[in-house]
Amino acid sequence: MASPIDLRCSNFDVSQLRDISYQCGKELTCFFQNIVADNETQFVYPPDRYQLSYKCIGFFNSTVHQLPIDIFQHYPNAEILYAANLGLKTLSRALFENANRLVDVHLEGNNLTGLDEFLFHGAVNLRRIVLSNNQITTMGKDTFKKMIVKSLNAFDNPYQRKLEEIDLSNNQLMDLEYETFSQLNSLKILLLAHNNIKLKFGLFPVLLKKLDLSYNQLRDFTLRQLINSQMLEELKLNGNFFENASIEYIFPEAIFQLMHIYRFELSDCFTCMHLADIFSKQLEQKVDN
């Protein structure tokens, strides 16, 4: 059996991290560097007098197949988790059971293929979840739902009430169940670029303000499909090749006037690839110039 690994905080310049919360630069942080661990690895937490003060925790320059499920028991006041580019293969639902202070979670650039039901149920204060650049193909309709005991609180809202942003771009999503996002009434930003999504009516929440559906497999689109999201302000549709390319069909005037869209991105050629589309394909297939 491999020796247990000490998770000892190290000095780390958080400015090296992309898109990390500004709070990590202001508050006490605890980063673990040069960790190599698999699913069988046991972690040890050396005594640390600042243990309850860390607001930002994470891993850097490490390979970890599964995060230690007791990490939020040892750092209960952590608000930001940075676990990007680690090679994560799975996420345990038990990981977030004690993460009731967590606000921002970075899980991009890993090898996740699916998200379990009720995965984030303990992180009731989550505002942003970044899951881009994984290999996610499946996701249940209850992934972002809280587990509640009805006998104790029958009137509680079962969905995350503070969740404002989800980034699932650059994955392999295809079919989305209706309640996956539609019941997330606090959601403002949903990024789904570079997937294989088939659009259906009623998928998105009422108060959504920004929706990125660029570079999917949309062949047919009309604004009627987003009629439930009348607060939408930004819409990205470029990189899709619509069979019916008429503006009257895509943006019916009566529907457009009901909505608040002030910015949209839309390819002006639906039968050929733009230069940006070609570059994107080359990056996906790692084609040399």
Whether the predicted pLDDT of 80 surpasses 60: yes
| pTM for the structure as a whole | 0.87
Q: What dotted CATH number matches 1-172?
A: 3.80.10.10
Interval 130-161: pLDDT, tens: 999 999 999 988 999 876 554 455 555 666 67
Return the sign of the alpha-carbon dihedral for residues 21, 230, 139, 74. positive
Whether the predicted pLDDT of 176 surpasses 60: yes
- DSSP strand E in 42-146: where? 43-44, 56-60, 63-64, 80-82, 104-106, 114-115, 128-130, 138-139
Tell me what pLDDT residue 289 has.
43
Mean predicted confidence (pLDDT) in 112-139: 94
12: nearest Cα among 56, 66, 70: 56
260: nearest Cα among 209, 204, 185: 209
Residue 87 contacts residue 109 (beta carbons within 8 Å): no
**Which position has the higher pLDDT, 225 or 281?**
225
Mean predicted confidence (pLDDT) in 45-66: 92
**19 — pLDDT class (breaks 50, 70, 90):** confident
- The helices-and-strands tally (H runs, E runs) of the chain is 5, 16
The domain segmentation of the chain, as residue ranges, is 1-172
